[in-house]
Homo-oligomer: A and B are copies of this chain.
């Protein structure tokens, strides 16, 4: 293994994890970030049960691309298996964030997609952020964290949503996962996900239940001015 690259990745993963409580998305130890490096053949993830103020790059945990741990390390975040499934099925994703941020969790608990009510949403998510179905008892018994990954994949496949265009999800009864091409993007998407969730609730309270998502041409405009080959926003 390229030790210099591993060191960089640990630094990046540590910083990305610390960005979550700073952004107000994480209380206590609720949250984790991982980064995948295909070339280096590794996933680097937050250790389990380490307080944020004791988190240092050397404590980050390194696994191979199947999520198998190299020896002599702390235990990885329990949600590692979920991350592995997402990396295996979403090949362009190189970083994943999981939080219990309160507005995204509230949509997850209500079992609802987060509708694209405005351009703040459309700038980052090309359509509604989907909510998965509830895991079954059998799935939970078979392997909870892995099946959490699978129910996310199922939601994107069944509804033919492109995970690169909608880089986030809420897992029914649980909470949000978001992702990106790198940890900066994945963390930003977790911030945006929670912000648009809060705004969506306020929008509905102001609307008396008659609200529609923005028209597709406005969604298109905002998404495509920031993404893809014709992007001109914030470049």
Q: Contact between A206 and B49 (Cβ–Cβ < 8 Å)?
A: no
> Which one of B27, B48, B118, B140 contacts A218 once the chains associate, using CB atoms below 8 Å?
B140
Q: Contact between B206 and A118 (Cβ–Cβ < 8 Å)?
A: no
Q: Binary interface profile of A, 90-117, with partner B (CB < 8 Å = 1, else 0)?
A: 0000000000101101111111100001
- Bound together, the chains give a CA A30 to CA B224 distance in angstroms of 17
Q: A interface, by DSSP: helix, strand, loop or mixed?
A: helix
Q: Contact between A119 and B195 (Cβ–Cβ < 8 Å)?
A: no
> Which one of B28, B191, B206 contacts A191 once the chains associate, using CB atoms below 8 Å?
B28
Q: Contact between B235 and A49 (Cβ–Cβ < 8 Å)?
A: yes
Q: Contact between B234 and A48 (Cβ–Cβ < 8 Å)?
A: yes
Instruction: For the complex formed, measure the closest distance between the CB of A197 and the CB atoms of chain B, giving whole angstroms.
Output: 9
Q: Contact between B103 and A202 (Cβ–Cβ < 8 Å)?
A: yes
Chain B residue nearest to A79 in the complex (CB): B233
Does A229 sit within 8 A of B, measured CB to CB? Answer: no
Does A70 sit within 8 A of B, measured CB to CB? Answer: no
Q: Binary interface profile of A, 195-213, with partner B (CB < 8 Å = 1, else 0)?
A: 1001111111111110100
Chain B residue nearest to A137 in the complex (CB): B217
Known: A28-B188, A102-B198, A106-B203. A78 touches B218 (CB 8 A): no
Contact partners of A100 in chain B: CB under 8 A: 119-120
Task: Mark A residues whose CB is within 8 Å of B.
Answer: 27-30, 48-49, 75, 78, 100, 102-103, 105-112, 117-120, 134-135, 137, 140-141, 144, 173-175, 188, 191-192, 195, 198-209, 211, 214-215, 217-218, 221, 225, 232-235
